[in-house]
A = this chain, B = another copy of it.
Amino acid sequence: MTITKEDLLEARYRTEKYIHNTPVLSSSTFNSAIGGSIFFKCENFQKAGAFKSRGAINAVFSISSQEISKGVATHSSGNHAAALARAAYLRNTKAWIVMPENAPKVKIEAVKNYGGTIIFCKPTLSARESALQEIIDKTGAIEIHPYNNEKVIAGQSTAVQEILEVIPRPEIIITPVGGGGLLSGSALAAHHFSPGTKVFAAEPLNANDAFLSFTSGTFIPSVNPQTIADGLLTSLGDITFPIIQNHVNKIITTDERSIIKAMKWIWERMKLVIEPSSAVPVAAIFNNPEIFQNKTTVVVLSGGNVDLTKLPWQ
């Protein structure tokens, strides 16, 4: 199954009423520093604090009334967990969320706030997968994977669809890449609605599975990656990887120090609370200004969920 232009348009129509059309901001200081024209799509302002609400809403609202009645399920310790719980709440169904027992309290609270049911498990991928399978077997809930899911990818494409309505034909769109849901959705949106736009990804050097897979042409998963960008720990999926191979132009990796510096810069100068994952493309631009000089670039600031009592510069 491929994701068509119509799937993207349908996702836009389906999600519109449940998500924010987030603002696009810019900074003259940043533009002067880089010598280009950089715009920031503020998905940190998105419902539940991250772009993940787009994919979750599109997936949950694509399911028939009959099928949805048994609820949805996923394993996630991050933004997809809260986004899915919220989408299920809005669809008037249940969400079963498998979370590692060491998940941040703030993420657990977010899922609870939206009425999601949490199943705690040991913090390993196999424990997460088996706990998820168990709950699906027991409840008949439908699994909504955080990124390796066509409806989720089509949902994530809506951020770029919105961008193109306010910044027509940017030369570059850059997003962070973890599992590749946002990146592949963005790449498909650019491909169909602004074919002249290049799509770049930014990835932590310490979790560079997408970079390695992309440059080698073979899927190479992350092994125990250690990065402050906690939204980018996952590896690409078998749906996202081919889309990225076909439609992404470049993946830029960034070191941890640059990520923290870029994050602090955005907080301090643009007064935006962004999470470390959002800072990865900002760091990529700071470290490679020559690529962005004299160009119009849109950065997707993917989310803003951080623990304010544990900031990386302290």
Contacts and interface: CB of A to CB of B under 8 A. Distances in A.
A309 B313 contact: yes
18 contacts: A23-B23, A23-B25, A42-B271, A45-B270, A45-B271, A49-B271, A264-B308, A267-B308, A268-B273, A268-B308, A271-B272, A271-B273, A272-B272, A272-B273, A273-B273, A309-B313, A311-B311, A314-B314
Interface in A258-309: 264, 267-268, 270-274, 304, 308-309
Counting chain B CB atoms within 10 Å of each CB, which of A49, A271, A311, A314 scores highest?
Answer: A271
Contacts of A264: 308
A238 B314 CA distance: 43
B271 A267 contact: no
A275 to B, nearest CB: 9
A74 interface: no
Interface string A207-248: 000000000000000000000000000000000000000000
User: How often does this chain occur in the complex, in copies?
Assistant: 2
A308 B313 contact: yes
A25 B23 CA distance: 9
A314 to B, nearest CB: 6
Contacts of A273: 267-268, 271-273
Contacts of A270: 45
A44 interface: yes
Counting chain B CB atoms within 10 Å of each CB, which of A44, A45, A268, A274 scores highest?
Answer: A268
B23 A304 contact: no
A269 to B, nearest CB: 8
A39 to B, nearest CB: 14
A180 to B, nearest CB: 24
Nearest to A310: B314
Contacts of A25: 23, 45
A309 B309 CA distance: 11
A13 B295 CA distance: 31
Contacts of A304: 271
A241 to B, nearest CB: 31
A137 B81 CA distance: 64
Contacts of A311: 308, 311
Nearest to A264: B308
A274 B270 CA distance: 11
Contacts of A49: 271
A271 B271 CA distance: 9
A38 to B, nearest CB: 16
A245 B309 CA distance: 41
Nearest to A106: B268
Contacts of A42: 271
A113 to B, nearest CB: 9
Nearest to A268: B308
